Every structure is written in structure tokens, then in C-alpha cells.
Structure 1
Amino acid sequence: MVSTLTAPSRPLAAAIAEFGEPRGYVATASIGIPPRRSVEALRADLDAWSRADRDPQGYDAIVDRTRRSYARLVGLDAGRVAIGSQTSVQASLVASAVPDGAEVLVAERDFSSLLVPFAQRPGAKLRAVPVEALAESVTDETFLVVFSLVQSATGYVADAAAIREAAARHGALTFCDTTQATGVLTVAAGDFDITVCHAYKWLCSPRGVSFLTVGENADAVLRPAQGGWYAGDEVWQSCYGTEITLAPDARRFDVSPAWQAWVGAEASIGMFAELDIAEIWQRAAGLGELLCHELGLPQQHQAIVSWPDPDGSQLERMSAAGIRISGRAGRARASFHLWNTEDDVAAIVRAVH
């Protein structure tokens, strides 16, 4: 097998070293693994908690720093970023803002957490088309276009530029889920009116950390329907009653954080915010191309590579060989991240053949 990887830059090499030697782990699209710094931060926090040396207010600075790191990662001001714990909850906030009778254009077979909130929105007119046909399917009747930048089941990278152009031409808003992209593919959240991202996959954070970004065009549309005390302008003066002042920026959509999850996320997302994400994509997509070549699949130039495995037999053989991989929608799915090498590709090929 011919090597396809160039030597990583010094910052990327240091980041790769944080993960040890997780050979055979190609399941980031299901769950990422934490860097050493995140594990150490979580252990220290648990130790402090066990000593009764923790208080809720002490986590605010952690959340603030993590929000700022994420904002830097996706190219926004931190005031455009709201925090949450689940993409489905934040997608439900967006769905609640759809006017009665308005059309919501979605990518068919996209991830359920993104689609179901709109399917359950009374009065919304849901229209599903293949993700490849989204741009050409936007009309003057479309209020909102909903899609994942990278499709979970297949790794397909949507033509975001064409979708944005079509939406702008027809006066529609865009809502993009970047969960399967941020951390491996360069994401500019400002290119979309609204984005959502859960950090437990490519950002290698604990589950329970998600982000909603809100552009200027969405400001007048979204309502803080899930607002609570953490959405207050002065958080610790917003704990009781209804007469509170919500934050003037995207923090008005905040959900109170799952504290320990944010301890791990601060370390991991801070690390990714300092890396060249394009370099990570070149590495991960290069391994994807190598796997396609070795298995005789059409070239995809994706970090996620999937192929038909309707009875799960290939997945079973790979699992028996010690490969941590996932299967989705009747397909085997390998997902490569910064720690993977050609050895992982070779292991898959041996197991499949």
C-alpha cells in the first residue's frame, strides 16, 4: 500500500500525540475519542468535586472560554454562539419559529435529530429531496432550507455554496447541521443563517455540549422559547420569576450547561481552535481516498467512507479483527480523523477481503 500522507505540521503532530495509538479506531462519526488534555481536565474536576471544592459559578468561565474557542473555530464573534446539550433540542427551537403554512425544504434521509423537529411542527409544509438536489429545489415558496453539511450515513459533502446562492436568490433562510464536519472540515458558520453542532464527534468532546449559531437574518425570526436562567443577561440574577432580562445576543438561546461535559470540551475544542482544519481534512480525506482505491469504490474525497453491507457481514468481520467501526443504513461506515494512518486502512482491507 503506497503512503498517501504527508508529514504533519508540528501543531498537528502534537495534537495527534494527545490520542496515543488508537489503531483500528475508525468510528469518529459515531463518537470521537478524547485527547489526553481533556481526560486530565475531567479527572481533576472530578477530584475537586469529590473534595467538595466545586461550585456552579466556577463553571461559567469554562463555558465562556469554550464558547469563544468554538466561535474562533467557525469564524464568528462569540456573541453569535448559543450553547446547548443536544442538537434535537436546538433544532426544535428553530422549528418552533417556522410560520404556519411555510415550506421547509430538507435533505431526505438526513439525520433524524435534524428532521423530526420540523416534521412535528404543526402547520409547516415539509418537502424532502435528495441532498444533491437541494439547490435546484429551492423556490420562492421556501422559507427555510435544512441540511447537514456532511451526511452522517454516507459522508457526502453538500454543495453548500450552491445551496446558499439558491436560498439567497429566493429569499429563504439556511439551517445547516455541522456535527459531522466541524473539527475535520473547515466550517464558516457565517455562511449560513443558522447552524447547529454537537461536539462529541469530530471535536472529541464529552456528550452534552452543542452549539447554535445565529446570523443577522435569523435574529428577527428565532424566539428564545427554551429560555431559562442561563439565558439571562446577568445569569446569577436570573434564577427566579419571569421578570428577567434576557441576554441581548445569542446567549438568549442558551441552555444551562452540563458542567462536567464542558470541562472536557474546553480542553478539546480549545485544541482544535488552534489547528489548521484544512490540514486535518487533507489527512482524513486522503485516507478515505486510499480506502476507496483499495476496495475498488468510486473516489469520494471524504473523511467518511461507506459502502453497501446489507447483511452486516463485513461489519462483523471487521469487528472480529479488532476494528472499531460503525454501520448505518445498511452500509459499513469508516470515518477517519487526525490520529488515523494507512495502517487503519490496511486493517480494513484485510478484514473485508
Structure 2
Amino acid sequence: MPSVTAAPQLTDARPGEVADQAARSWDRVPGYLNAATLGLPPCAVVTAMQEAVAEWAAGTACPTRYDASVNAARESYARLVGVSPDRVATGAQTSVFAGMVAASLSDGAEVVAIQDDFTSVLFPFLVQQQADRGVTVRLVPREGLADAVAETTDLVVFSLAQSACGRLVDVAAVTEAARRHGARTFCDTTQAAGWMPVEADLFDLTVCSAYKWLCQPRGTAYLTIRPELTESLRPVSAGWYAGESIWDSTYGPGMQLAGDARRFDVSPAWLSWVGAQAAGEVFAQLSMEAVRAHVGGLADQVRETLGQEPCGRPVLALPDPDGALAGRLTGAGATVASRGGGVRIAFHLWNTQEDVDLVLRTLAG
């Protein structure tokens, strides 16, 4: 596999140092304000994947050697969210892992979820509700999630940061309500991991698609699980890569799955995991507190100009029912997204004061 050079250690970095590191790690793409849709790859990711494609084209790639990239990416992600690697499963999409969690519900289970959450964490549970198993899904407003948890609730499903607007769930209130009523929690950290500290141990299960704020290739996702829940989760996507001995699990019915979270692994899209390893090594060197201060500070400059309270989140959602504002921003050279009747502006590590100024000029015009 291509070698990856780790970024300088910045675990105690200030926001300015993080900005300097980002300038060294990413090529400048002026006006790209769309990390909430698709993160930009660090230069190390581009190099690693180009080298891997060249090996593939030359016929020198070896499938077994890709395991090192998968495991390195698993370890980097585990460090990022504060768990051991044996509690992390690797896969391709949030919906696949959510589907496995949904399929593992007991008949008659009650799920409480946010009514306008991203469908990758909603649809798998709604499918089970339609499956004549007695599963009930109660959909509630984000602000009322904690209050909606009841003695009848088995699982609380939610995104830590909402996709359309970036707003955060009140984690303390939701986890306390779940603990009080004996419910488990399943948290999607896709729109949070990579710009803010995430503690996977706060939840029973988490899932993360890494192609947004973690800047990995699409086709890389992670599940974390508390060890005591391993036996209760049904590995419905199990294949050879979920085996205790991967390359001895390719034929026949003699199934011996891994004893830890690897039993939930999905066969990897190899080249994506080469990129994931490189991206993981970049992010593993960063202080997430400093990243949050940097990217949230950029967004807060726009908020303050608009008369809004600063909140330290990197995502702004501005009303744009007819798409006119998105059109003006695009015309000015920005890349943004239209979501839920608004324009979504997302600042990340590669963004600078120039991008803030671009947004402010456009809004003023």
C-alpha cells in the first residue's frame, strides 16, 4: 500500500495553528462551503489513492494488503471518538448499519426518532414498522426528543447534528431520559464527527458516514457498539469480511464470526479505504476543540453580521424558499447546498477569511 506521512502533532493546537495545518494539508478551493454534503480530500488522500490506482493498473495490487488500510482507518476513527478499535465496525453506508440495528429490534419494540431527520436513519426503522412485527416508530420534533422517551421506548434514534441546518441535539437530556427509562440510544454522528469532539461512549450505538466532515472517500462508514450489546445485534450483512479469520472465511457454511465489532464489518471497497487511512491520519493529529473554534468562528462572523447570536457551529441555514440566495452565492463563486427551503453554508478546515468575505459581500448585495 502507498505510504502516508502523518501530519504534525496538533492535539493542543489553537485555532490559528489549525488553520495553518489545514493550509498545508488541503489544496485551496475558494468558495467551497459544502462540507456538509461532500468533504474535500486532504492532499495525502489524493496522493495515496493515485498511487493505489497506479498499483491496480500495473497488476501489483494485492487484496490482502488492503486489510492494513481498513484496520488503520478503524484505529484512527476509534481514537477520534474515544473507544477501542475492537468496538468499531467498518462498512460503506449509514443506512446499511442502521438497517442492521433496525432488523435486530425485538418484535413489538418502540422506537422514538426525530420527524425530519435524515432518511438514512429513519427509513430502516420505518421498514421494520411495515414488516408486521409490531414495531412502532414514534416521530417527534427535535426539541421534544428527550421528553418523548417513555417507559415503553426501546430505542432512541437521532442525528447528533441535523443535516439540513446543523443544529445539535441536547445530548445530555436525551441520554439521561434514555437511561431513566431503560432505552438504548443510536446516534448518527455523520454531521458532527470531524468538526467537533464526539464521545461515542455517551451512546449505546453510533454510526458515521465519513465522506463529509471527515473527508474520506464515499463508501466508508463506521459503527461503534458497547461490548455488552454485541450479541444482541444481528449481523444481517455478514460475509467473509466478518469472519474471525477473514481469508479463511471465503467458502462454505462453517461460519465463525469475529468475537468483537468486526463481526459487523461489511466487505470493503478497497480503494476507498486507502483514502480513509490517509484522511484518518490527518484528522488524528488535530484537536477537535481547536477545529470547532476555527470553523465555528468563521460561521459566527456571518451570524454576527446578520444580527444572530454566535453559537460555534460551522453550518448556517438561511431562508431561501425560491433558491435566489443560493443562485447569488453560486454566481459569486461559492459552492453551497439548498436544503429544506433554505441555503446551507458549511465552513470547514480549508475555508478562510476570504470565504467569509465572499459570503458577506453576496448577502450585502
Would you call these one fold, judging by a TM-score over 0.5?
Answer: yes
Q: Structure 2 length as normaliser, TM-score? A: 0.92
Q: CA deviation at 1:8?
A: 1.9
Q: Which moved more, 1:131-140 or 1:82-91?
A: 131-140
The structure 1 residue matched to 2:81, chosen from 68, 74, 84, is 74
Look up the SS of the partner of 1:120 in the other structure: helix
Partner of 1:34: 41
The structure 2 residue matched to 1:62, chosen from 58, 66, 69, is 69
Look up the SS of the partner of 1:100 in the other structure: coil
Aligned equivalents of 1:189, 1:7: Cα separation in 2: 24
CA contact (8 A) 2:15 2:291 kept: no
Aligned equivalents of 1:329, 1:298: Cα separation in 2: 22
Partner of 2:9: none
Look up the SS of the partner of 2:78 in the other structure: helix
The structure 2 residue matched to 1:100, chosen from 99, 107, 111, is 107
Deviations 1:48-93 (A, max 9, x none): 1111000210101111111111101110000000000011111000
Aligned residues, how many?
347
Deviations 1:245-287 (A, max 9, x none): 1000000000000000001110011110121011000111111
One-letter identity of the residue aligned with 1:239: T
Asked if 1:345 is matched to 2:356, the reply is yes
Asked if 1:218 is matched to 2:229, the reply is yes
Partner of 2:289: 278
The structure 2 residue matched to 1:150, chosen from 161, 166, 171, is 161
CA contact (8 A) 1:174 1:193 kept: yes
Partner of 1:180: 191
Q: CA deviation at 1:299?
A: 3.7
Question: How do 1:229-268 and structure 2 match up within 5 A?
Answer: 229-268=240-279
Q: CA deviation at 1:217?
A: 4.4
Deviations 1:119-155 (A, max 9, x none): 1102320101111111111111000000000000010
Q: CA deviation at 1:225?
A: 1.2
Cα–Cα, structure 1 residues 46 and 98, in superposed 2: closer, same or farther, change >3 Å? same
| Aligned-residue identity in percent | 46
Aligned equivalents of 1:151, 1:117: Cα separation in 2: 18
Question: How do 1:270-349 and structure 2 match up within 5 A?
Answer: 270-349=281-360
Aligned equivalents of 1:129, 1:82: Cα separation in 2: 29
Aligned equivalents of 1:331, 1:218: Cα separation in 2: 39
Partner of 1:87: 94
Asked if 1:8 is matched to 2:16, the reply is yes
Deviations 1:81-126 (A, max 9, x none): 0000011111000000111221100011000111000011023201
Partner of 2:4: none
Aligned equivalents of 1:322, 1:89: Cα separation in 2: 36
Give 5+ residue unaligned stretches, structure 1.
1-5
Aligned equivalents of 2:313, 2:325: Cα separation in 1: 20
Look up the SS of the partner of 2:28 in the other structure: coil
One-letter identity of the residue aligned with 1:92: G
RMSD across aligned C-alpha pairs, in angstroms?
1.3
Give 5+ residue unaligned stretches, structure 2.
1-13
Q: Structure 1 length as normaliser, TM-score? A: 0.96
CA contact (8 A) 1:90 1:196 kept: yes
Q: Which moved more, 1:240-249 or 1:13-22?
A: 13-22
The structure 2 residue matched to 1:116, chosen from 116, 123, 127, is 123
